[in-house]
Amino acid sequence: MAKQFKKTKLAAAVCAAAGLGLASSASAVVVVGGDNGWEVSFDGNINAFYTTGDYDAGFDTMGYGSNSRPLDTARVASGFLPAFFSFNVKGPTVNGVTATGRFSFAPTIQNANVKNQVYGVGTADAAGLAGGRSQGLQGASIETREVVVNLDGNFGTVSFGRTLSIFGRQAILKDMTLFGVGSSQVQNGSVAAGRIGRGYTYPNFNARFSYKTPNINGFQAEIGLYDPSTEQTSWIGSGILDETDTPRFEGELSYTTAFSGGSFQLWVDGLWQNIENSRVGATADAQVTGYGIGSNVKMGGFDVVGYYYNGEGLGRSLQFVGGTRCNAFGTTCQENDADGYYVQGSYTFNGKTRLGASYGESSEDGFSAMNPTTTAGALAATNGVDLSMLTVGVYHDVNSWLKVIAEYSHLENDFGNTRNDPEADTFSVGSFLFW
């Protein structure tokens, strides 16, 4: 076996850390190859942020629940991205087809705002370790984000496994808070929320088969057949959407072109899934749909991004959370409307220091009332929710493997006059090591 040691370019490491896909062996720190054409390589990152936050009473990062009291917090934690350790395999090209595989593990560095606590004083804490309140002893969380194979050839790319979903993917990967914090989590052990629910919905990493066409004069399309999701119904109401006998479909069409001193990209993406109700006597189902459109213009040191999405049953922050509800007998289900957008502009000085600002909003309409005289199991109407965030940040590349970041974000939650509309301010400084 021959060993090759190669320096990582920051851009390649960034793509790998963000879960963009399979890293090529040339982008990894260490590449191990053999005479039979197989190669293995490794890449990843470690990041840490010091974040302070001032949260009004009733504020919640995702806009679902609320803190009962105002909070001032200081945390040392992972940012919007967790740390990554990724293992890549590349096979020899046979009959014009090259196979690559990737495993990507993503731990965070913090506990859930506790150190060694196991038992609490409330009923919910009484089970101790068995009750899920033992993050202090168990340490930081770790998840498997990518287990994916790509088969590349003149026909395009056939892919299978688990990786970042298509709908909303471009929006999250172009968000500058991806390498910062954005909307920080108040007390838990997971990563920060970035701009989730304040300009786009979170697509998550999911199992799927997909096909991507070759790039034809700048045009490229991708379609995926996904493991379907049950819908986590609205917090208000009963009934469940738990039967999925068809897959979820997601797709994207993009156009990219380069011009003197810059580039332009335009994309549209979409999602569709049907979910049925397995309750005996249930007759209603739900159609969850979504579409988005975005663009990215780069010229000199300027970089401008805009994105808009719209959907039914989609949810306000996390996809397939809170976007539908059914009455108690499953004879009627509702999908509420949700939409959002964000705009972002940045300028990079000397190819190393990026100064940027972004603003985004997400809105979810309330449910209409289900009348007891016409529908079994009445449900009351609910109010809509609007979430927004303004972020300014500085992202500086010290060298090809070290980045330092400073961010400020102002967040607002509007609950439709059902209670006070809380706000929050956060400030973060941190650093990334890439390999």
Does residue 276 lie in a domain region? yes
Instruction: Encode burial over 142-170: b for 16+ CB neighbours within 10 A, e otherwise.
Output: eeebbbbbbbbeeebbbbbbbbbbbbbbb
Contact (CB, 8 A) for 226 and 206: yes
Average pLDDT over residues 354-378: 81
The predicted pLDDT at position 58 comes to 84
The predicted pLDDT at position 383 comes to 85
> Which CATH number do you get for residue 333?
2.40.160
Judged by DSSP in three states, 176 sits in helix
DSSP conformational letter for 317: S
Does residue 425 lie in a domain region? yes
- CB under 8 A, 24+ apart: contacts of 117-123: none
The predicted pLDDT at position 327 comes to 78
Render pLDDT for 288-321 as a digit per residue (tens, 0 to 9): 999 999 999 999 999 999 999 999 999 989 999 8
Does residue 194 lie in a domain region? yes
More confident residue, 184 or 267: 267
* pTM confidence score: 0.88
The predicted pLDDT at position 130 comes to 46
Picking from 256, 295, 315, 271, the residue whose alpha carbon sits closest to that of residue 171 is 295
CA distances from 353 to 14, 189, 349, 356, 401 (A): 15, 30, 5, 10, 14
Mean pLDDT, the chain, whole residue set: 85
The predicted pLDDT at position 381 comes to 82
Bridge-based pairing of strands 98-107 and 324-326 is: unpaired
Confidence at 368, pLDDT banded by 50, 70, 90: confident
The predicted pLDDT at position 260 comes to 94
The predicted pLDDT at position 371 comes to 66
The predicted pLDDT at position 92 comes to 94
Among the residue ranges 16-30, 297-311, 411-425, the one predicted with the least confidence is 16-30
Dihedral of CA atoms 140, 230, 175, 311 in degrees, nearest 10, equals -160
Average pLDDT over residues 230-244: 66
Render pLDDT for 68-83 as a digit per residue (tens, 0 to 9): 688 898 999 999 999 9
- The count of structural domains within the chain is 1
Cα separation, 240 vs 227, in Å, equals 18
Does residue 314 lie in a domain region? yes
Bridge-based pairing of strands 262-276 and 324-326 is: unpaired
Residues 6 or more apart in contact with residue 350 via CB below 8 angstroms? none
Helices (H) and strands (E) in the chain, counts: 3, 21
Does residue 43 lie in a domain region? no
Judged by DSSP in three states, 272 sits in strand
Does residue 56 lie in a domain region? yes
Full residue range of the structural domain in which residue 407 is found: 48-78+159-434
Render pLDDT for 114-135 as a digit per residue (tens, 0 to 9): 776 665 544 444 444 444 444 5
Residue 15's H or E segment, with its range, is helix 10-17
Residues 6 or more apart in contact with residue 260 via CB below 8 angstroms? none
Confidence at 421, pLDDT banded by 50, 70, 90: confident
Picking from 33, 42, 43, 156, the residue whose alpha carbon sits closest to that of residue 92 is 33
Render pLDDT for 42-73 as a digit per residue (tens, 0 to 9): 999 999 999 999 999 888 888 876 666 888 98
Residue 405's H or E segment, with its range, is strand 402-414
Judged by DSSP in three states, 223 sits in strand
The predicted pLDDT at position 196 comes to 95
Does residue 236 lie in a domain region? yes
The predicted pLDDT at position 239 comes to 55
Does residue 181 lie in a domain region? yes
